[in-house]
Amino acid sequence: MKRQIFRGTGTALVTPFRADDTSIDFVSLRAHVEHQISAGVEALIPLGSTGEGATLDYEEKLSLIDFILGVASKRAKVVAGTGTNDTQTTVKLTREAAALGITAALVVSPYYNKPTPEGLVRHFQAIANATDVPLILYNVPSRTGSNLSAETTLRLAEEIPSLVAIKEASGNIEQVMEIIRNKPEGFCVLSGEDSLTLPIIASGGDGVIAVVSNEAPALFSGMVRDALAGDYGKARAAHYALLPLMRANFLESNPIPVKSALAMMGVIPEVLRLPLTPLSERHRPALRAALQTAGIVLP
């Protein structure tokens, strides 16, 4: 199996909801996906944390994946978030998403359960044994309650050929470098922290699955391509222009700020599903200022 699925920028897509009933707003979603593709992102990632996958029911998830595949029409890779904290459910969703035609599945390490390293290995082995679709690990300890260590990641990468990459959102740059240093040939390391994308690429990483590219897809994906090409002067300028927005996107729990920003931009309605609520008034000036620093013109 070819291990490199994409190199560059994958956008962790927001899921727009309708204001009247919080059903999926497919009209806004189509426009958002089209803008991402035209701005040059290499991959689209629905159903991650940014996409509020935890509050979408099973049928909504499949409907969303199918819709994005149709809009993308092979103009960008589609990597669907299919991970849950239940191995059997993850296997089922991954199989059905694979049948729809996804490029790969993004599988988060199980949250809440806090499995041991051996439990993590068996979880991912079970998914890999049940489907032929390429898998991307997703390590995000701040949400799962447990860290997928470099040792466990490297063991998985060596033992499971269909594991093609990791989205590393531990925030631990030394852990990321340990994976890059010892990974098998072709295994990709993607930043899961927007603000660490540049240093991770400089350390040998392959790209990012990002939040900020929802708001600034052209500038951010251009920064990533420049960094991958070794043009660090140009990449650095874009990085620092975007850094305030990268930070502002986490003034409150993701995706609260990014959805507020996109609403300020006129892209989507500012609607979230409970238990998430709209951005507090005290954070709106900082978010607006960060958008303007990034060169985004607000209506």
Catalytic residues: 138, 167
CA dist 60 to 11, 63, 97, Å? 20, 5, 12
Structure token pair of residue 146? 């447990």
Q: How far apart are CA 293 and CA 283, in angstroms?
A: 16
Q: Which amino acid is at 160?
A: I
Q: How far apart are CA 287 and CA 251, in angstroms?
A: 8
- 208 by Cβ neighbours in 10 Å (0-12 / 13-18 / 19+) ranks as buried
Q: How far apart are CA 198 and CA 9, in angstroms?
A: 12
Apex 163 CA angle, 184 and 198, nearest 5: 65
β pairing state of 188-191 and 163-168 = parallel
**C-alpha 257 chain-centroid distance:** 16
**C-alpha 98 chain-centroid distance:** 18
CA dist 251 to 31, 178, 297, Å? 26, 30, 21
